[in-house]
Each structure stands twice: as structure tokens, then as C-alpha cells.
Amino acid sequence: MGYEFSDDALLTLALTHRSFCAENEDAESNERLEFLGDAVVGLAVTGFIHDAYPDLPEGQLAKLRASVVNTTTLADVAQHIGLGRDLRLGRGEEMSGGRTKESILADAFEAVIGAVYVDSDWDRANAVVLDCLGEQIAQGAQRPGRLDYKTR
């Protein structure tokens, strides 16, 4: 991701799925960081596309954002940067392929972004999001909404 945590405990927390917590009494899940990271990702992508594509109307901007900020895209990015191998999962989730489940990977990506934000600041978190999602934004801008089921 191009980011080194000053507080490694934040990264560990971001990679801790609730299934791990069910088996480890003192563990805390990544859900709160995921909540924060969801907002950071959304704002970073929205701000970037607003400025980068001044000729796109609001509806097309919304479709572009939706083509990037969704479970499938975030899971692909998470898989690409190797988050799946580092997840802390419970045995059941491990056995059922949790390291490759889209929802778990997307949530972990958002949690890691939330952790980057807490560990640093908005500017750094924004840069990490755009570094991770820049290619997907560029692809989505070629045909906003092509992945949107309502448009199809």
C-alpha cells in the first residue's frame, strides 16, 4: 500500500475479523475501523473525481464513484495488495475460504484505510486511497455506470 504504520496495533486491529474475536475473548474486531474507512474511501474518491472530471454531470459522477467504491472493486484491490493472507480469521471462516471472500476483503480494505487515517491524517489517507484505486477510477471514467446494474 505504500504506507508504514507508526502504530502496528492499528494494522493488527484492521485485519481482525469478527470471527477471530468470537474465538479470542480479548480481541477486538475491525468493524469500527471499517466504518471509518468506508467514509474515508468514499470522500477520497468523490473529491478526486469531482476535481478530475469537471465536465461530468452529477449523475455520471455518482455512477463513476459507484463503479469504484463497491465490494467487488475493493475486494480486488485488497486481494492485489495481499490483505487476504494477513487477515486474522476464526477457524470456521478460515475453513470456509474467508481469505478470498469479497465481503471480508472489501471490509478489511476499508478497515485498513480507517487505520491509516487514525495513524496519520486526512492527506496521507487520501493519498493511500488514490494510490490504491487510481487505476480503477481511470477505468471507470471511460464509461461511468457500465458496472452499475441499474444502468445495465
Contact 18, 31 (CB under 8 A): yes
Grid coordinates representing 42? 468514499
Rounded to whole angstroms, how far apart are CA atoms 130 and 71? 17
Residue among 152, 141, 151 at smallest CA distance from 68: 141
Query: C-alpha grid cell for residue 98?
Result: 474467508
Nine cell digits for residue 10: 492499528
Catalytic-role residue among 34, 93, 107, 110: 110
What is the C-alpha separation between 122 and 101, in angstroms, rounded? 29
What whole-number distance in Å separates Cα of residue 73 and Cα of residue 105? 10
**Which is the catalytic residue, given 38, 93, 107, 119?**
38
Rounded CA-CA distance 54/135 in Å is 19
Residue 38 bears catalytic tag: yes
- Tell me, yes or no, if 110 is annotated catalytic: yes
Q: Which residues are catalytic?
A: 38, 110
